[in-house]
């Protein structure tokens, strides 16, 4: 039994895992949901229950004639109306937890999408009586959207492959048992979602593959009307939509403009278009393609008076605010102003506050040495206020840490972003320090530098942390990054080695004191680099890895859905795609050579990255490697444990503990132990 073997090999590290668990618990998270969020005539928020174990979602009604929201708003004095108690619901529903909660526009009903590790279902609740309306919850629900009448609900469901494929309409006043099918996506490469627009004037059905987007729209006040296409589909082009006063702002990415365009589809053109949508030539350019500036996916937010666009030059992203003229936008986009945060490595995500007329937005900001903070920002006045923030207890001193983001030349003259984080009192930059690399960027991982308590545990023991943004992700879609998918997957592995070379050339790390970690599809790049240059790494941790990508795409049924073919190609139809994947697949390139210490972490119930990926890799590696370094496999059995000592610890504690063990730093924070060099 692999878990038993891993527990035996690491039995002497149990005290270390215990200390790490306590260190990781120093981060006290302040959920962003705890900050009140203004929606219509209510403030919605969450609080901890009396046992301090689970969240209770609640709301308070605003007094009449309450002015528009401001960044200084606090929770009003009013009675709490609890709408969802996580602890009570988990007890009643045998472990199911809320995935999403959607309140109707009139604030009378709530659609709750619940999930466990295997399935999802939806219930509808009357918020006045707390009564659940559905005698039998609807299974396989993924996304939902309310029409503006608050009595019609659209929802998307999964097909037999667990792909969101169907959209239904439920007329609550007509029948709770029967829904009308309004859309089915027959192409297995596409996944479907249904969503309301920011203005709540439109509803959208978005069907998207890794290479193309198709979007339908509907007047939210006419839920039984006919859905029409926004645009005629364009090959190798993806886009997002946002509406304002009938106009649709379209942000798109294609092989011709990989960094994105911002264009406008005027309301009169949309209204005159045929049911299959208007042509791309009818769009008006607002922001042209820029070689060194990429528009963020999901990074456009519209209000009545403002447009906020998230863009990036490298990483992290930045926000640009445009003041829009009254009425529809007739001419060019006005000059924007860039929002500046205090910490240069801060990253942010956008949340609206209030209705469409509100000028208040919410940013979630973080940096490698600053825990999450929630800021409300006033677009009219540029004033902001912290609404909630995470705290680190027990002597946390952020001034001890430093971080920087650098651009590193890859071997083919591309530019790769590398974020370094370290404790300035423990690292001399004389080429002697241990370093730990994390792979970001692969498969839509943005690579933005964020606060991570597990990284702090490494820094406090003198390890330099390096976050490598390899090509193949989704945040920077220029030609360099697109080389990482699908035809030149091996280039991402070359990026890893360029990052290693940078650490050595700048005397950041010692050549024999480098470890690496990656998860999911990012493990493809990390494991491929290990296959090619195993002596460069002292140890590796691969968490829920994808390692046998060729088999995952060619077996029947495929372990990876057809929607991912655009990322890696179709090996059953293309000899070039097959050969490219085989040359880069870690499973197919294990060789009879020395390998570093390795820990692979798998999950028995993970539906996307199966436990067999790690198991197959470990089995083959054991049969071919020519040394006896540690090769460990730990599988989270999801409650089916066998009493092993390591089960008491989180995967984060195991992951960080393994890295420290591979470095020979089995010490309390800040106490460096002597470490031998080299692989056995």
pLDDT of residue 528: 93
Which pLDDT tens digit goes with each residue over 172-212? 999 998 999 999 999 999 999 999 999 999 999 999 998 89
- What local confidence, expressed as pLDDT, does residue 200 receive? 94
How many other CB atoms are there within 10 angstroms of residue 303's CB atom?
Answer: 22
Q: Please tell me the predicted confidence (pLDDT) of residue 476.
A: 46
* pLDDT band at 567; cut points 50, 70, 90: low
What is the pLDDT, as a whole number, of residue 311?
87
Measuring CA to CA, how many Å separate 150 from each of 95, 147, 359, 559? Answer: 29, 6, 25, 39
pLDDT for the residue numbered 282: 97
Q: What is the pLDDT of residue 247?
A: 97
Q: Match domain 2-24+412-663 to its CATH number in 2.30.30.140, 3.40.50.1820, 3.50.50.60, 3.40.50.180.
A: 3.40.50.1820
Q: Is the dihedral angle over the CA atoms 368, 410, 487, 593 positive or is it negative?
A: negative
Q: In b/e form, how buried is each residue of 641-680, taking b as 16+ CB within 10 angstroms?
A: eeebebeebeebbbbbbbbbbbbbbbeebeeeeebeeebe
Find out whether 390 and 28 touch, Cβ atoms under 8 Å: yes
Model confidence at 645: pLDDT above 60:
yes
| Whole-prediction pTM | 0.83
- Greater confidence (308 vs 549) lies with 308
Query: Is 70 exceeded by the pLDDT of residue 279?
Result: yes
Bridge partners of 214, per DSSP, are 207
pLDDT digits 0-9 by tens, 2-23: 999 999 999 889 999 999 998 8
pLDDT tier at 255, thresholds 50, 70, 90:
confident
- pLDDT of 668: 58
112 compared with 553, residue with greater pLDDT: 112
**Average of per-residue pLDDT across 611-626:** 95
**Residues of the chain with pLDDT > 70: what percent?**
87
pLDDT bucket at 562, cuts 50 / 70 / 90: low
The reported pLDDT for the residue numbered 408 is 87
* Residue given tokens 């009140």 in the structure block: 36
Please tell me whether the peptide bond between 300 and the residue prior to it is cis, using omega within 30 degrees of 0: no
Q: Higher-confidence residue: 414 or 214?
A: 214
For residue 184, what pLDDT is reported? Answer: 98
Q: Give 400 or 411, the one with higher predicted confidence.
A: 400
Q: How high is the pLDDT of residue 341?
A: 64
Q: Is pLDDT at 475 greater than 50 in this prediction?
A: no
Q: 243-247, 295-299, 312-316, 401-405: which range is least confident on average?
A: 312-316
pLDDT at 315: 59
Top mean pLDDT of 68-82, 457-471, 475-489, 585-599 is at 585-599
- What per-residue confidence (pLDDT) applies to 442? 55
Q: With beta carbons less than 8 A apart as the criterion, state whether 217 and 203 touch.
A: yes
C-beta of residue 307 within 8 angstroms of C-beta of residue 383: no
The answer, yes or no, to whether residue 587 has pLDDT greater than 50, is yes
- Give the C-alpha separation, 547 to 526, whole Å: 10
Closest CA to 551 of 471, 498, 466, 617: 617
The pLDDT score that the predictor gives to residue 473 is: 45
- Rounded Cα distance, 449 and 447, in Å: 6
Q: Say which range, 510-524, 575-589, 650-664, has the weakest mean pLDDT.
A: 575-589
Of all residues in the chain, the percent with pLDDT exceeding 90 is 57
pLDDT digits (tens, 9 = 90+) for 11-63: 889 999 999 998 888 877 665 557 899 999 999 998 887 776 788 999 999 99
Write the pLDDT tens digit of every residue in 444-456: 445 567 888 899 9
Lowest model confidence (mean pLDDT) among 132-146, 174-188, 410-424, 511-525? 410-424
Q: Which two tokens stand for residue 588?
A: 């197919």
Per-residue pLDDT, 644 = 62
Report whether the peptide linkage leading into residue 625 is cis, meaning its omega lies within 30 degrees of zero.
no
Mean pLDDT lowest for which of 15-19, 293-297, 571-575?
571-575
Q: What is the CA radius of gyration of the chain?
A: 26
Most confident of 261-275, 460-474, 482-496, 626-640: 261-275
Is 170 or 405 the better-scoring residue by pLDDT? 170
Q: What are residue 559's phi and psi, to 5 degrees?
A: -70, -30
Mean pLDDT value across the chain? 87
Contact (Cβ atoms closer than 8 angstroms) between residue 635 and residue 611: yes
Helix axes 522-532, 490-505, angle to 10 degrees: 70
What confidence tier does 667 reach under pLDDT thresholds 50, 70, 90?
low
Q: Where do the structural domains in the chain lie, given as residue ranges?
A: 2-24+412-663, 271-391
pLDDT band at 677 (very low <50, low <70, confident <90, very high): very low
pLDDT at 368 over 70: yes
Across residues 348-363, what is the average pLDDT? 88
The string of DSSP letters for 540-599 reads EEEEEE---HHHHHHSSS-SS-GGGHHHH--TTT-HHHHHHHHHH-TGGG--SS---EEE
Beta carbons within 8 Å of 197's beta carbon, 6+ residues apart: 203, 204, 220, 241, 242, 243
What pLDDT shows up at residue 522? 86
Residue 490: pLDDT band (50, 70, 90) is low
Spatial distance between the Cα atoms of 631 and 596, rounded to a whole number of angstroms? 8
Least confident of 103-112, 357-366, 553-562: 553-562
Judged against a pLDDT cut of 80, whether residue 423 lies above it is answered with yes
State the average pLDDT over residues 577-597: 91
Are the C-beta atoms of residues 578 and 571 closer than 8 Å to each other?
yes
- Residue 637 has φ and ψ, to the nearest 5°, of -90, 5
């Amino acid at each position: 039994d692999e878990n038993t073997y891993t527990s035996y090999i690491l039995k002497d590290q149990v005290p270390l895992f215990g200390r790490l668990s306590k260190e990781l618990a120093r981060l006290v998270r302040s959920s962003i949901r705890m900050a009140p969020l203004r929606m219509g005539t209510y403030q919605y928020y969450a609080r901890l229950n009396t046992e301090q174990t689970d969240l209770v979602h609640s709301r308070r009604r605003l007094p009449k004639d309450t002015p528009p929201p401001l960044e200084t708003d606090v929770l009003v004095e009013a009675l709490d109306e609890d709408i969802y108690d996580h602890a009570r619901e988990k007890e009643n529903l045998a472990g199911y937890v809320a995935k999403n909660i959607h309140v109707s526009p009139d604030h009378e009903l709530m659609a709750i999408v619940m999930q466990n590790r295997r399935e999802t279902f939806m219930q509808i609740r009357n918020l006045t009586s707390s009564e659940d309306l559905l005698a039998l919850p609807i299974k396989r629900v993924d996304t939902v959207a309310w029409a503006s009448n608050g009595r019609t609900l659209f929802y998307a469901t999964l097909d037999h492959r667990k792909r969101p494929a169907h959209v239904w309409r439920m007329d609550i006043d007509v029948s709770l048992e029967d829904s009308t099918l309004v859309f089915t996506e027959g192409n297995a490469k596409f996944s479907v979602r249904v969503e309301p627009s920011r203005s709540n004037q439109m509803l959208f059905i978005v069907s998207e593959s890794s290479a193309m987007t198709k979007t339908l729209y509907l007047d939210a006040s006419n839920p039984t009307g006919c859905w029409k296409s926004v645009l005629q589909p364009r090959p190798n082009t993806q886009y997002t939509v946002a509406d304002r006063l009938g106009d649709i702002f379209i942000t798109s990415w294609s092989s011709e403009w990989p960094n994105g365009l911002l264009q406008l589809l005027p309301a009169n053109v949309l209204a005159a278009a045929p049911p299959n949508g208007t042509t791309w030539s009818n769009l008006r350019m607002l922001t042209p393609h820029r070689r060194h500036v990429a528009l963020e996916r999901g990074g456009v937010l519209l209000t009545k008076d403002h447009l906020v666009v998230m863009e990036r030059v490298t990483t992290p992203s930045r926000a640009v605010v445009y003041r829009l003229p009254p009425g529809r936008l007739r001419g060019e986009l006005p000059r924007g102003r860039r929002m500046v945060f205090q910490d240069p490595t801060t990253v942010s995500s956008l949340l609206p506050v209030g209705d469409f007329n509100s000028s208040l937005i919410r940013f979630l900001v973080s940096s490698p040495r600053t825990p999450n903070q929630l800021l409300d920002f006033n677009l009219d006045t540029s004033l902001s206020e912290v609404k909630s923030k995470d705290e680190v207890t027990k002597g946390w001193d952020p001034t001890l840490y430093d971080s920087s983001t650098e651009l590193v030349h890859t071997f083919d003259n591309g530019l790769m972003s590398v974020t370094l984080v370290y404790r300035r009192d423990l690292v001399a930059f004389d080429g002697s320090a241990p370093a730990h690399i994390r792979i970001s960027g692969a498969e839509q991982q943005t690579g933005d530098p964020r606060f991570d308590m597990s990284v702090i545990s490494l820094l406090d023991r003198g390890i330099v942390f390096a976050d490598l943004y390899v090509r193949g992700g989704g945040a920077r879609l220029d030609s360099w990054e697109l080389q990482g998918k699908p035809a030149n997957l091996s280039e991402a592995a070359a990026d890893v080695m360029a990052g290693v070379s940078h650490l050595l050339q700048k005397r950041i790390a010692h050549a024999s004191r480098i470890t690496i970690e990656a998860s999911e599809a990012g493990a493809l790049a990390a494991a491929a680099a290990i296959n090619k240059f195993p002596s460069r790494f002292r140890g590796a941790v691969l968490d829920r890895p994808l390692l046998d990508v060729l088999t995952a795409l060619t077996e029947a049924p495929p372990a990876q859905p057809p929607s991912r073919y655009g990322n890696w190609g179709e090996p059953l139809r293309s000899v070039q795609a097959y050969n490219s994947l085989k040359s880069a697949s870690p499973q197919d390139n294990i060789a009879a050579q020395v390998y570093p210490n390795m820990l692979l972490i798998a999950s028995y119930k993970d539906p996307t990255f199966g436990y067999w990926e790690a198991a197959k890799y470990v089995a083959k590696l054991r049969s071919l490697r020519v040394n006896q370094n540690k090769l460990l496999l730990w599988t989270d059995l999801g409650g089916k444990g066998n009493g092993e000592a390591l089960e008491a610890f989180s995967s984060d504690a195991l992951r960080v503990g393994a890295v420290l063990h591979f470095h020979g730093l089995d010490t309390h924070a800040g106490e460096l132990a002597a470490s031998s060099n080299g692989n056995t």
